[in-house]
Structure 1
């Protein structure tokens, strides 16, 4: 009976320790209010590496929050950022295109909003401000790549099925972050030419990078909701469980290396 009681206490203690802290956080970039989602597990340590999670073109939705929670489970403090303002998100591609265009058509707006999120994350008590990385999906993948190209001080960036094209290629010696690109070999939005150009750009810039192509994986391969979104909107999207698993493992390997964990 005593052993049973002790086991119950230990199990209860473990469950309590594993509870994630979650906060909806408001912050500003210029005059725009941004609404992010912050999550961490203080049982993982006092000063954790921080990871910014940049959403797909749909906006800051449950998928981006889900990935932030997965990062918190691994021992990171994660901030799912809001690149559109006021937490806007949608399931409709026309709205998503408008949201994305509103950011991209204004010079340096994406960087302004990204840096506002980075500053917020770095200021958190649970975060080691010298250890910040960023991951992104689709639009978010392109965003974190562009932040690396512009020399933003990050330990690493990881792009999941993000666009590779850019109007502002990295210059020699400018890239500080280690770069990991996780791409679906059957992604209709990423051409063979854009891959060749990206790799040439990275080599010319002297960047540390890795490019992984997952066979039979289409755009959105990490998102379990991609099949529904693709069918509803007549878009070439599809979830691929194996590529999802392998890409998440590749991200963890990079973080282990750059954060010395």
Structure 2
């Protein structure tokens, strides 16, 4: 189990985060929540990553606010202070960074967009990016700033798939960047165990793709079949 900590931005703004794992770990993963705010399954992701040797940090972009109401969640997402959120992202990356440690960012939906933004903000410190069923960045000039590969996880029941995958892969190719894809016959939100769209089989399979990607790009070794036991998958 991890612990709640308080971090500060460059403007001395305090924000909450959940930290799990050995602080001497050689790899770190920053996790960004969906539009609901930080939920138990986000902390569970961190615990699962800590169990396989990563230092994991869940960043709260909503200052403690959470909801299970889609309308309120949409409002919270629309009203986010993005410049302040970006200061949090940068502070969290700085917290995870140390010489020799490779860092990845990861998020689903709203969190996926923020994961990509974090990697674009600090390409000097982020080695890999993971995004799942989110709005994809297709600005080639911006994508050229990435310093590592991207794993894009797709919910193939979304109305804009496969177009979103094709557009992203074309943009990444034009930017000269590496991307990997993992697609699942599931709906948006399939990794969230509290969602009616949750798909346990797709969740487990996508989690394994995440574990393998992190193993290869943060540790530089072969595939791992370390998947969370029982209900500890995202």
Scaled by the length of structure 2, the TM-score of the pair is: 0.83
* 2:231 corresponds to: none
**Distance between the aligned counterparts of 2:192 and 2:165, measured in 1?**
22
Q: Deviations over 1:148-190 (max 9, x none)?
A: 3456331111112222256x554464211210011110024x4
**Distance between the aligned counterparts of 2:212 and 2:180, measured in 1?**
12
Say whether 1:155 aligns with 2:135: no
What secondary structure is seen at the aligned counterpart in 2 of 1:157? strand
* 2:168 corresponds to: 198
Which ranges of structure 1 fall in alignment gaps of 5 or more residues? 1-19, 228-237
Scaled by the length of structure 1, the TM-score of the pair is: 0.75
* 2:224 corresponds to: none
* 2:88 corresponds to: 113
* 2:203 corresponds to: 244
1:260 to 200, 220, 225: 220
> Greater CA deviation, 206-215 or 146-155?
146-155
The CA RMSD measured in Å over matched residues stands at 2.2
Q: Answer with 1 or 2: which has the greater Rg.
A: 1
* 2:17 corresponds to: 36
Contact 1:51 1:132 in 2 (8 A): yes
**Distance between the aligned counterparts of 1:52 and 1:139, measured in 2?**
14
**Distance between the aligned counterparts of 2:206 and 2:182, measured in 1?**
9
Contact 1:149 1:169 in 2 (8 A): no
Say whether 1:96 aligns with 2:55: no
What secondary structure is seen at the aligned counterpart in 1 of 2:79? helix
Higher relative contact order (CA 8 A, sep 6+): 2
**Distance between the aligned counterparts of 2:42 and 2:22, measured in 1?**
17
> CA 1:170–1:241 in 2, change beyond 3 Å: closer, same or farther?
farther
Contact 1:214 1:243 in 2 (8 A): yes
2:26 to 48, 56, 63: 48
1:70 to 48, 55, 79: 48
Q: Deviations over 1:44-99 (max 9, x none)?
A: xx4331111110110112111111111111111111111122x2211112221222
What secondary structure is seen at the aligned counterpart in 2 of 1:226? coil
**Distance between the aligned counterparts of 2:34 and 2:129, measured in 1?**
15
More helix by share: 1
**Distance between the aligned counterparts of 1:129 and 1:23, measured in 2?**
24
Aligned length: 218
